[in-house]
Amino acid sequence: KLSSAYAESSMRFSEESGTDTDRTRFLPQSVGGRMLGCLLPYGEDFSVIGDGRNPFGFSSLRQYELSLGIQTENAIMKGDLAGALELIEGRRKVFEEKDGGVRLGRLGIESSMNQEGYIRFLEGEYRESARIYEEAAQYAQTSGFLDRYRQNFAARFRSLFAYIESGEASAEERSAIIESGLNEIEEFRGKYREQAKLLYIKQKETEQPNFSFDETRDDPIINAILVRELQEVHFIEALLYFYSGTGIDAQARSEADVESAVKLFSKAAGVIDAIRTAAKKEGDQGSARLLRLNINHAAALARAGNLLFAEKELQESVESAYEFGLLREEWEARSALSDVQRKLYEFR
């Protein structure tokens, strides 16, 4: 309550002070610096380096935006989702009208989109949530926010998967989501690689003014960046294969249908295994994330018919989860293991 009250008080004070940013206060105070300011677009994007660094203090506009953000978070925590949506709409409007010309303003616009997508998700409006996340991803890409592009792209698929799991999606919608999703993954990887390469070149040119991109030397570095940063996207690909296999298996009418489903489950297991391998190379050996990957890999193996391998992997996952005190992962592994052992018993 106090947090919201202070935020509302700050917002009123900012409105009274005027919500225009005085960019001149970011100008260097030296004569040479001011002359250079005639050529360079000084402002927060130029002078503020590093998260949270505001050497000149917050402008009244920035205070206004920040107070709206605090009120929004408080509304979400209280469960007032309708109120949060109203605040987000107002905050986004302020960013677009008064602050869209600078990087911080564009980040605010993207953040507002992201928050709206999250609230729609909480309300169970999964299709609308996915639509908003898609808009946010496109905006982040055109604005050059590579991390936000990836995060919104992944969030969109989490909404679509929730829509599938809710049972509201028809068989046709489910198939369309999966088919288009696999195509979008490939397109996304291409765009992400292109932007990651441009950022890499820009960084290198800052360090070495005479830098020239060499495919033999630098392509492996770009590949390593993609392997590290796109693990969640790869996992989405695995889930798309898994959902596709599940749909075909549920409606299988021939041996060919069963074989198609098995191939898709095997593809899912292969993608998850590649993610695990990359995670282990980075030193991830006993985390909850790695254990969940192991459990999902075993689940895909089981659906592909490799019950003995799945049983062995799940037994190891139970032991690891117990050793590291990961109760949730231990329960999931034991539950999956009991299903696999029941199927093995039926075969015997």
C-alpha to C-alpha distance for 340 and 313, rounded to whole angstroms: 11
Residue 41 confidence (pLDDT): 52
Which amino acid makes up residue 137?
Answer: A
C-alpha to C-alpha distance for 83 and 62, rounded to whole angstroms: 21
Burial of 255 (0-12, 13-18, 19+ CB in 10 A): exposed
**Which of 246, 247, 339 minimizes the C-alpha distance to 298?**
339
User: Quick one: how far is CA 23 from the chain centroid?
Assistant: 33
- Let me know: does 293 contact 309? Beta carbons within 8 Å: no
- Let me know: does 227 contact 192? Beta carbons within 8 Å: no
- Which tens digit of pLDDT belongs to each residue from 128-183? 999 999 999 999 999 989 999 999 999 999 999 999 999 999 989 999 999 999 99
C-alpha to C-alpha distance for 58 and 226, rounded to whole angstroms: 36
Q: Which residue has the tokens 């765009």?
A: 191
SS3 313: helix
**Which of 128, 103, 1, 90 minimizes the C-alpha distance to 49?**
103
Residue 268 confidence (pLDDT): 97
- The dihedral through the CA atoms of 265, 267, 271, 276 has a sign that is positive
- Which tens digit of pLDDT belongs to each residue from 202-215? 999 999 989 999 99
- Let me know: does 238 contact 271? Beta carbons within 8 Å: yes
Residue 3 confidence (pLDDT): 53
C-alpha to C-alpha distance for 103 and 112, rounded to whole angstroms: 14
- Let me know: does 60 contact 98? Beta carbons within 8 Å: no
Walk along the chain (348 residues) in steps of 10 and give the mean pLDDT of each run: 51 51 52 54 49 53 75 85 89 84 87 94 95 96 93 96 93 93 94 94 92 94 92 95 94 92 96 91 79 95 95 95 93 96 87
- Let me know: does 258 contact 274? Beta carbons within 8 Å: no
Which amino acid makes up residue 203?
Answer: Q
C-alpha to C-alpha distance for 248 and 260, rounded to whole angstroms: 8
User: Quick one: how far is CA 205 from the chain centroid?
Assistant: 28
Q: How many C-beta atoms surround the C-beta of residue 182 within 10 A?
A: 14
Predicted TM-score of the model (pTM): 0.80
- The dihedral through the CA atoms of 219, 223, 228, 233 has a sign that is positive
